[in-house]
Structure 1
Amino acid sequence: MKVSFACLVGAALNAGFALASGRSWQPAKPATAAVGKRSYVINTDRTEGDRMPWPNRKIRYCYENDEAQDALETILRAGLDIWRNVGLGSEFTMVQIDRDECREKRWDTLMIYWSGDNGGMATFAGLPREDSPYRETKNPEARARMILTTSTSMGMLDQQKNFAHEIGHAWGLYHEHQNPAFWSKPSIVNGRGGTVFGPENDGNWRCENLKDYEVKVHRGLIVQNPGKPAGDRVTGDLLCKDQVYASNSDFSAGDYLPMPKDVGSADTEGMDGESVDWGSIMIYPSGAGGRGDASPGNDQRLPILLDHNGDPIKISEGPTQRDIAAMHKLYGRSKSAVTKDLLQKAGGKVTEGFKKIYPKSQGNSGGSACL
């Protein structure tokens, strides 16, 4: 299986790292599907996938060097707080460890790299299982890693939210929009016939607006067919239709297109727009990775994905309750978890206070769209 990293980036970093970007937002539509019915996470089925959750809900991490630690640690902690503020239980922890131990146990720890003020982002989703082919690689540099940038001109145009997105990947969450159930067929490889994204769905997949489209596709790039003998090639047209081809050629479409069936696990019961968690911290806003300038409060990027009504997808306010439910799917419910349902049932001032703050933390239609 191909080494696959998930990310929220502005430029490709190297082979195996996906590519995208974003801005800051609230969902275009309030989510209507039941909490717990939506998640797209690492496939932990031992007969198909080769990923596993972090043992004891604990991410053990280190930084590549002191410079990276100085630049990133405070923001990383703030990104984790974003998850905590919407109910992620305190049993989910991130613990910094000694750098030597981190290097020695490279497949059981997470090393964090700083790509500077203008770099990209990429994160290994979950951990490779004990019998995973990942652990057999002879490359001493291969490992579970997270690459972060301090840029505010890419992603969600907000450092803390960008980091919160990457933390979601580290725990084992994939992109909401890469769920195969939401993509059309037959033109999109891995698509299951969904009515949300893809050429058959009113042009709400606009591959031609990606920053690297001109170089990778329009100029007629020809890529090697993965797993086939030398000389078996495909034209650049498939780079906008096949996630594997796009990822293998470092084309940013690899972070948008639906992933192969055995890579992720989805338990959504729907294939239409009402089944998508439009407020998820794990979904890209429409301008993510698009051509055009962006800065906090000023996003001029062309749209890449649109929602099922053809409207722009806005930037997330933070993890939704369905993001929290996805974490519980992978790790089991934590005793300290605070959810919408629990707070609504608490009664008295607790419920009254919850109803005031929930629209803002959840990012539903009653919250603010501004940052």
Structure 2
Amino acid sequence: MHSHIPDGNLLHPPAAEDIIELDRTFGTRFLLFVDTEEEFDWDAPFSRTAHTVTALKGLEQGQAYFAAAGVKPIYVTDYPMLDNEAVVAMMSEWVSDGSADIGAHLHPWVNPPFVEDVNRANSYAGFLPEDVERAKLQALRDRIHIAFGQAPIAYRAGRYGAGPNTARLLEEMGFRLDTSVRSRFDYSADHGPDFYGMPLGPFWAGPERNLIELPLSTAFTGLLRGSGQSLYWAAHAMGPMRAALARARLLSRVPLTPEGVPARDACEAIDALLETGTRVINLSFHSPTLEPGHTPYVRDAAELSAFYQWWEIVLEHLDQRGVRPATLARFLAAVPPRAQIGDQAACQAA
């Protein structure tokens, strides 16, 4: 579990004054981030070369679907995608016509400079030596700037691999938003970050508190959801206990993604988040899922059809609950300048 050290580190819970209260006019909205990446065998060891970039038709169809639904995705994009001229040309059109935004997504094993060993531990960019993480982030940011004519301001680490230096490096490079924190998940057993106990809503991060963190949305559902976090953590030590609680519909941890999460469970998770006052919901999936055969979630045409049916159900549920889509710009505009937050706190104290 975390100790409380309010230092802007993405691995430490924020101080109370770093929690962001969005502008009231923002209402309750959702954003969609797409981890836009190469195709590779998810069950194989990481490799610098064993990957492809072929799922362009699926990506194009996905963009058409979301544009028709009034959703403006943020495609956080990694280096192999940027090396594909067809991908850059296609996505540049979306940026130009205002139907999508581009951010950065770092898979260190396929992102230059190639100086580290390729293994599971080094697949979490935030746990690489600071100079290596910086160099890879810089190369990715510059490559996006060249490809699209603008530097990215949104970032998600591949494998949610934020580390102790990530927020500071992103601040230094001019990023405004990070969305690497996957609240209620712990990857420390696999050499990765522990996000258990981190907030679900946005907060200020980085030593200068110039970086906005927007965690991915995960909810506890079931009859025992009120004590979900502590109970789920306790059940972790009991082996099959988590699965038993989920089967009995007493307690489940539900990330808001179409990948491996039934639509009914996602709708229950949305309701649970709204019940606790959540103002912004962060949905996500991986771009290779848009074409059969590249991820475990869509292996054939029937599963691709089910993927889009998931979106039909979830988008309809969001609409019924009054949760509208937000663009990246709209979300950023709803974040009050941090100076105002400090001034308000001082006024309240006075």
TM over 0.5: no
Tell me the TM-score normalised to structure 2 length. Answer: 0.31
Using CA pairs below 8 Å that are at least 6 residues apart, which structure has the higher relative contact order? 1
Tell me the TM-score normalised to structure 1 length. Answer: 0.30
Greater helix percent: which structure? 2
